[in-house]
Amino acid sequence: MLGVRVLLLGGGGREHALALGLADDPSVEALIAAPGNPGIAAVAELRAVDPVDPVAVAGLAVEVGADLVVVGPEAPLVAGVADAVRAKGIAVFGPSAEAAGLEGSKTFAKEVMTAAGVPTARAYTCSDEASTAAALDRFDPPYVVKNDGLAAGKGVVVTDDRATAEAHARECGRVVIEEYLAGPEVSLFVVTDGETAVPLLPAQDFKRVGDGDSGPNTGGMGAYAPLPWAPADLVDEVMRDVVHPTLTEMRRRGAPFSGLLYVGLAITADGPRVIEFNARFGDPETQVVLALLETPLGGLLHAAATGTLADHPPLRWRSGAAVTVVVAAEGYPAGPRTGDVITGGEQPGVIHAGTARRAADGALLSAGGRVLCGTATGPDLAAARDAAYQVVRGITLSGSHHRRDIAAAAIDGQIALPV
Ligand code: AMP
């Protein structure tokens, strides 16, 4: 598999982490990213493209002579970008639009889970006030109300306040209302060619904006891996009870899922329960999981994209741990301010999530809500955490904020599994 030309789609922190992994793989001959970001520009050639335009992306893949297209974000997948590229005879890491419905529609995901017997929260799909009220009546608080469509990780409200739950349902139009799952959360990434499935290391992310899980939900404020508190048989159990039944059900429907199946779980008193599926790598967990992956990334993704994962050697992992801390713009998540000058953005360990270059002088500017991630590995979680915060201390961005407690509860042995 030598000499692979890879086109990577996307321009956030996840894609910067993917780009670092791909650039490190000796079998990757050329790495082109579209649209990329200033961090990715250090390891890839950047091209401009509208990532959700299937015709434009397929055209670019042909033009750059790509052997493999890696789709980072969910929106291009739901828009059918993987289908358009495959139609050109080019291998794609990422599911078809139909299979990406596992992320694109919460209702579809629930249907698949029910058919596959996957353990998940009881749920009702509602699109008017009466059905919303009836569904809320069936549950005790906290209420969980999810936008049915794509919402970039921000479509979920978990609240004790019924009026807030009802207001979110009204705003979204069509929602899924479901049982609250109590227990620590785990993100498990599974690389699959539709049939064979290879789990990566479980990670945990931090969805709420503030320390101690306070404030509104975000796209994710930090992450760490591995999980010292996770049950030893967790991954085997999830592969057996969740991943393989889901892949089988997708094949049965004629919509095999290949690419990255992200399983978001709560470890409840009754065992692991699926909170959500995503159809791509999670952000920011990718930053820590890939920091620990020793196996060359390009070869792994190419095997998944070409249906040859069964022949791929077992994954190798670095010992130790990894932590990433997101530095967010002032006002994130409600209304992030952009256009501020960043310093310290080029140090080792800085992953670019929402940055841009000022045309006039090349200065690095904030250009999104989540701006940078300080990422580090270490011999254990505490060392990795300290090193990640050291990276964050080297960054200046006016008005920015970050959580101070990433990985702290795990390091202090304070994550308890419910009994
Ligand atoms: P999602 O977009 O489905 O990942 O939801 C975002 C976040 O909302 C999750 O990471 C959880 O913290 C929370 N959440 C979603 N569904 C549930 C649930 N059924 N029970 C408890 N928390 C949930």
- The Cα-based distances of 314 to 116, 174, 212 in angstroms read 27, 42, 37
First to last CA, the chain: 48
Which residue has the CA at smallest separation from atom 10 of ligand 1? 207
Position 136 scores a pLDDT of 96
- Expressed in angstroms and rounded, the spacing between residue 400 Cα and the centre of ligand 1 is 26
Residue in 304, 274, 307, 354 with CA at minimum distance from that of residue 103: 274
What is the tens place of the pLDDT at every residue in 2-11?
699 999 999 9
CB distance 51 to 41 below 8 Å? no
Q: Is the pLDDT of residue 157 over 70?
A: yes
What is the tens place of the pLDDT at every residue in 273-326?
999 999 999 999 999 999 999 999 999 999 999 999 999 999 999 999 999 999
What does the DSSP assignment read for 344-363? STTSTTEEESSEEE-TTT--
**Distance in angstroms (rounded) separating the CA atoms of residues 418 and 413:** 14
Q: Is the pLDDT of residue 397 over 80?
A: yes
Q: Which residue has the tokens 């991954």?
A: 235
- Amino acid identity for residue 396 in this structure: T
What is the tens place of the pLDDT at every residue in 64-91?
999 999 999 999 999 999 999 999 999 9
Ligand 1 environment, Cβ below 6 A: 121, 144, 146, 153, 156, 158, 178-181, 185, 207, 217, 264, 266, 275-276
**Distance in angstroms (rounded) separating the CA atoms of residues 255 and 305:** 15
What is the tens place of the pLDDT at every residue in 204-262?
999 999 999 999 889 999 999 999 999 999 999 999 999 999 999 999 999 999 999 99
- Expressed in angstroms and rounded, the spacing between residue 218 Cα and the centre of ligand 1 is 11
Position 419 scores a pLDDT of 85
**pLDDT confidence of 154, banded at 50, 70, 90?**
low
Position 152 scores a pLDDT of 57
CB distance 396 to 343 below 8 Å? yes
Work out whether the CA dihedral 226, 232, 233, 238 comes out positive or negative: negative
37 φψ region: left (φ > 0), alpha (ψ -120 to 50), beta (else)? beta
Mutational test site, ligand 1, from 158, 185, 208, 277, max ligand atoms within 8 Å of CB: 158
- For residue 151, the ligand 1 atom closest to its alpha carbon is 2
Return the SS3 of 124: strand
Q: What percent of the chain has pLDDT over 90?
A: 95
What is the pLDDT averaged over residues 383-399?
98
Mutational test site, ligand 1, from 143, 157, 276, 280, max ligand atoms within 8 Å of CB: 276
What is the pLDDT averaged over residues 338-358?
97
Q: Is the pLDDT of residue 153 over 60?
A: no
Q: Is the pLDDT of residue 164 over 90?
A: yes
Mutational test site, ligand 1, from 156, 164, 178, 267, max ligand atoms within 8 Å of CB: 156
Q: Is the pLDDT of residue 149 over 80?
A: no
- Expressed in angstroms and rounded, the spacing between residue 207 Cα and the centre of ligand 1 is 9
Position 245 scores a pLDDT of 98
Which residue has the CA at smallest separation from atom 5 of ligand 1? 156
Position 223 scores a pLDDT of 98
Position 151 scores a pLDDT of 67
**Distance in angstroms (rounded) separating the CA atoms of residues 205 and 224:** 7
**Distance in angstroms (rounded) separating the CA atoms of residues 1 and 299:** 7
Position 329 scores a pLDDT of 98
Would you state the structure tokens that stand for residue 12, as one six-digit string?
A: 């956030």
The average confidence (pLDDT) of the chain is: 96
For residue 226, say if its preceding peptide bond is cis, omega within 30 degrees of 0: yes
With DSSP H G I counted as helix, E B as strand and the rest as coil, what are the percentages for the chain, rounded to 5? 30, 30, 40
**pLDDT confidence of 103, banded at 50, 70, 90?**
very high
Position 155 scores a pLDDT of 83
What is the pLDDT averaged over residues 126-142?
95
Which residue has the CA at smallest separation from atom 8 of ligand 1? 156
**Distance in angstroms (rounded) separating the CA atoms of residues 91 and 103:** 21
What is the tens place of the pLDDT at every residue in 350-368?
999 999 999 999 999 999 9
- Expressed in angstroms and rounded, the spacing between residue 285 Cα and the centre of ligand 1 is 16
- For residue 208, the ligand 1 atom closest to its alpha carbon is 12
- For residue 264, the ligand 1 atom closest to its alpha carbon is 4
Q: What is the pTM of this model?
A: 0.96
Mutational test site, ligand 1, from 122, 275, 280, max ligand atoms within 8 Å of CB: 275
- For residue 276, the ligand 1 atom closest to its alpha carbon is 3
- For residue 178, the ligand 1 atom closest to its alpha carbon is 19
- Expressed in angstroms and rounded, the spacing between residue 336 Cα and the centre of ligand 1 is 23
- Expressed in angstroms and rounded, the spacing between residue 156 Cα and the centre of ligand 1 is 7
Specify the pairing of strand 271-278 against strand 4-10. Answer: unpaired
- For residue 106, the ligand 1 atom closest to its alpha carbon is 3
